[in-house]
Chain A
Amino acid sequence: MGRLRGIAWYTLLGGLSLVFIAPLVWMLTTSLKTAGEATRIPPSILPEDPTTGAYAELFGGNTQAPVLRWFLNSLLAASGQALLVLFVASTAAYALARMNFRGKNVIFAMIIGTLFIPIFTLIIPNFLIIDRLGWLDSLWALIVPGAASAFGVFFLRQFFQGLPQELEEAAVIEGANAWQIFTKVILPLSKPALATLAVISFLSNWNDFIWPVYVLFSPENYTLPPGLGQLQGAYSINYPVIMAGAALASIPVLILFVISQRYIIEGVSRSGLKG
């Protein structure tokens, strides 16, 4: 690349980057402004007198908006579901990738087939099932139903099939049973795939919106996404507080993304799947 072309190239890419990043930066800077400054016209680019007042307000124990509680609920739901997905998807994927048994193809086809059912088709019947189980308005509703992820099984099955056969055979000769092979041979070799699946599950649960909005009723049981809606009602004109709430919901996933972006992006592109 010539020097001039190089400059033009990076200007183009940099300009594009600005489009993607500026709104997120705006969210952060607004959260550090005062309510007055946030809505002034023309707007100030950087906070003139940066203040963490919005965050203090957010954590100040407003009973209509227990934000800390929402944050912990989100954390609990997203990590709980990620763990559950890891367990049920890895065991199922192991059976489907490495064992022969009657009905295997039918079961796998059924699991893949459900990838084509739009999520909203299941929302109303699932609401009724959750109600029967007594899980409405509780975190169980957020953790358990979504853990039946067809994506997780598909993704891990692909990975397990790529592992060398010899290690497993050696373990069999030494008299290991299936569970021992699974936990001592397969899982340790699959750490990158397991981590990718955990991160993708965590992100999608953390960001889920429609389901928590309709199955959680009490403010103290909210996760951040329905909580943010509540915040918009409670602080309709206080933009720094609303933006501080949005930032609070973004920062953990942005950090997670920065740490594991290679795995997230590769996981997404390799499987063509997210969910």
Chain B
Amino acid sequence: MVEQTVRAESATAAPEPAPAGPVKRRGPGATPYLFLLPYLLLFVTFTLVPAVYGLWVSLHEWDYLLPGKPFVGLDNYTALFDSASPVFDFFWQSMEASGIFTVFSVPLLVVVPLGIALLLNRSFKGRTFFRAVYFAPYVLGVAVIGLLWRFLLDPNLGAVNSLLGAIGLPDDTAWTTGLPWAWISLVGVTVWWTLGFNAVIYLAGLQDIPRELYDAAKVDGGGRWAEFRHVTLPGLRPVLLFVVINTVLASSNMFGQSYLITQGAPGVETRTAIMYIAEEGLRGYRMGSASAMSYLLTLALLIISMTIFRLFRTKD
């Protein structure tokens, strides 16, 4: 699962101060570093080094299968903006696909789970059970979800079209091979699959809103809607920020659903940016070019996240 996640509070709150009075008898010495060593070894090798190494690779014509890897400066980057280059069309088409998916899935994944969380936030018998049921699909991997829905959405043999036919609706919709159906399928499946995750985050946020605020709102005579607007939404602000940023990042990283359900179909319209980068770099072995694409995408996501962050900060 490509899950890009950050903690809500870590994004908003300042780093906490060190705990008061940690055990400190002898000088710190080498002990803390020895404790950190195993982790840092992995962290440096597989996170820090690759972050820099990827940048280095992107400045070379790095064909995995060829011995020479000549330095080409920013050529891999400028090619992405040159309509005459062989990667231009495919790259921007894939960016567009990721964009379309993000634009349609994020609002649903922000709003629908909030509705579910509000439903589940009351106290009633079986609440834990329902919470678990709605969360259950999320614990399955995209490989399972992809195969399952490819079968269910099969235009000829799938249960979805059969079901629609049985209630008198058209039973020949090309869910996996036509447009806009392929997008509807990909967004729908993703909402079904990951909705529980956001709902659980919202639920935790809702439970942190002090009861007294609701009691105060009742005294003021506000209705349900006023309560939601003036107490619930402001109280959820940091959680909402987390959910929005996290969902935007996760959606723009979409890969498995397209790879398995539509296989990019009808043509390459549903081939997402990550799918194209992986094909270019790990199937075509043009790693310099693929790295340049991934850094450009990273930069774009960074700008988008910062913009969302700002919007939340400056509002009212």
A and B found bound together: yes
A8 within 8 A of B: no
Tell whether, in the assembled complex, residue B294 and residue A147 are in contact, meaning their CB atoms are under 8 Å apart.
Answer: no
Q: Residues 105-127 of chain A: 1 if any B CB is under 8 Å from the residue's CB, otherwise 0?
A: 10111111011111111111111
CA distance A208 to B256 in the complex (A): 10
User: Which residues of chain A come closer than 8 Å to B141, judged between CB atoms?
Assistant: 206-209, 225, 249, 253
A62 contacts chain B at the CB level, 8 A cutoff: no
B282, A123: Cβ atoms under 8 Å? Answer: yes
**B121 shortest CB reach to chain A, Å:** 12
CB of A93, distance to nearest CB on chain B (Å): 8
Q: State whether the Cβ of A55 lies closer than 8 Å to any Cβ in chain B.
A: no
Contacting A at CB under 8 A, from B114-153, are 116, 119, 124, 126, 128, 130-137, 139-144, 147-152
Q: Among residues 55 to 106 in chain A, which have CB atoms less than 8 Å away from a CB atom of chain B?
A: 87-89, 91-92, 94-102, 104-105
If A43-B159, A104-B32 touch, does A88 touch B255 (CB 8 Å cutoff)?
no
- A120: chain B residues within 8 A (beta carbon): 2, 253, 255, 274, 277-278, 294, 297
- Measured CA separation A184–B281 after assembly (Å): 47
Query: Is residue B8 contacting chain A, with contact meaning CB distance below 8 A?
Result: yes
Chain A residues, Cβ within 8 Å of B204: 269-270, 272
CB of A11 within 8 Å of the partner chain: no
B1-20 CB contacts (< 8 Å) to partner A: 1-10, 15-16, 18-19
Answer whether residue B92 sits at the interface, using C-beta atoms and an 8 A cutoff: no
CB distance from A109 to the nearest CB of B (A): 7
Q: Does B221 contact A (CB under 8 A)?
A: no
A234: Cβ under 8 A from any B Cβ? no
Query: In whole angstroms, what is the CA distance A183 to B197 when docked?
Result: 33
Q: Is the CB of B18 within 8 A of A100?
A: yes
Interface secondary structure of A, over-half rule: helix
Question: Using Cβ atoms and an 8 Å threshold, which residues of chain A touch B314?
Answer: none
The answer to whether B201 and A254 have CB atoms under 8 Å apart is: no
Cβ of A51 under 8 Å from chain B: no
Tell me the residues in window 135-172 of chain A with beta carbons closer than 8 Å to chain B beta carbons: 144-148, 150-151, 153-154, 161, 165, 168-169, 172
Q: Smallest Cβ distance from B136 to chain A, in angstroms?
A: 6
Determine whether the beta carbon of A99 is less than 8 Å from that of B24. Answer: yes
Partner of A242, one of B25, B147, B239: B147
Bound CA–CA A199/B151 (angstroms): 29
Question: How far is the CB of A205 from the nearest CB of chain B, in Å?
Answer: 10
Is A246 interfacial (CB 8 A cutoff)?
Answer: yes
Chain A residues near B48 (CB-CB < 8 A):
110, 114
Q: Is the CB of B200 within 8 A of A207?
A: no
Count A-B pairs with CB separation below 8 Å.
Answer: 312
In the complex, which residues of chain A have a beta carbon less than 8 angstroms from the beta carbon of B151?
A: 30, 239, 242-243
- Those of B54-103 within 8 Å (CB) of chain A: 54, 57, 64
- From B39, B239, B242, B301, give the contact of A89 (CB < 8 A): B39
Q: Which of A41, A118, A258, A273 contacts B157 (CB 8 A)?
A: A41
Taking a contact as CB atoms under 8 Å apart, the answer to whether A272 and B134 are in contact is no
Do residues B298 and A265 form an inter-chain contact, with CB atoms below 8 A? no
Are B36 and A107 interface neighbours, CB within 8 A?
yes
Assess the B38–A274 pair: CB atoms within 8 A.
no
Are A124 and B19 in contact, with the CB atoms below 8 A? no
Which residue from chain A places its CB closest to the CB of B290 in the assembled complex?
A124
A228 close to B15 (CB less than 8 A): no
Evaluate contact between B39 and A125: CB separation under 8 angstroms.
Answer: no
Q: Does B21 contact A (CB under 8 A)?
A: yes
Take A24-B136, A98-B22, A124-B290 as given contacts and tell me if A114 and B47 are in contact as well, using a CB distance cutoff of 8 Å: yes
| CA distance in complex: A76, B272 (Å) | 31
Whether A1 sits at the interface, judged by CB under 8 Å, is: yes
Asked if B225 CB lies within 8 Å of chain A CBs, one says no
Q: Are A122 and B51 touching (Cβ within 8 A)? A: yes
Report whether A272 and B8 are in contact in the complex, using a CB–CB cutoff of 8 Å. yes
Q: Which of A105, A116, A123 contacts B15 (CB 8 A)?
A: A105
Which residues of chain B are near A261, meaning CB under 8 Å? 132, 135
**Chain B residues in 8 Å Cβ range of A126:** 46, 50
Contact of A272 among B7, B35, B132 (CB under 8 A): B7
- Report whether A91 and B137 are in contact in the complex, using a CB–CB cutoff of 8 Å: no
Specify which of B8, B116, B128, B133 lies most central, judged by the most chain A CB atoms within 10 Å of its CB: B133
Q: Does B110 have its Cβ within 8 Å of any Cβ on chain A?
A: no
User: Which residues of chain B come closer than 8 Å to A151, judged between CB atoms?
Assistant: 5
* Contacts A99-B31, A114-B51, A123-B281 supplied; 19 other A-B pairs, CB < 8 Å: A20-B133, A41-B162, A88-B39, A114-B43, A115-B7, A118-B4, A119-B3, A125-B50, A125-B53, A129-B50, A145-B46, A165-B21, A181-B23, A209-B141, A214-B283, A253-B140, A254-B139, A271-B7, A275-B5
For this complex, 7 residue pairs linking A to B, each with C-beta atoms less than 8 Å apart, are A42-B162, A96-B36, A116-B305, A154-B7, A182-B35, A246-B148, A261-B135
Chain A interfacial positions (CB closer than 8 Å to B): 1, 9-10, 12-13, 16-17, 19-21, 23-24, 26-27, 30, 39, 41-43, 87-89, 91-92, 94-102, 104-105, 107-112, 114-129, 144-148, 150-151, 153-154, 161, 165, 168-169, 172, 178, 181-182, 203-204, 206-210, 214, 224-226, 228-229, 231-232, 239, 242-243, 245-246, 249-250, 253-254, 256-258, 261-262, 264-265, 268-275
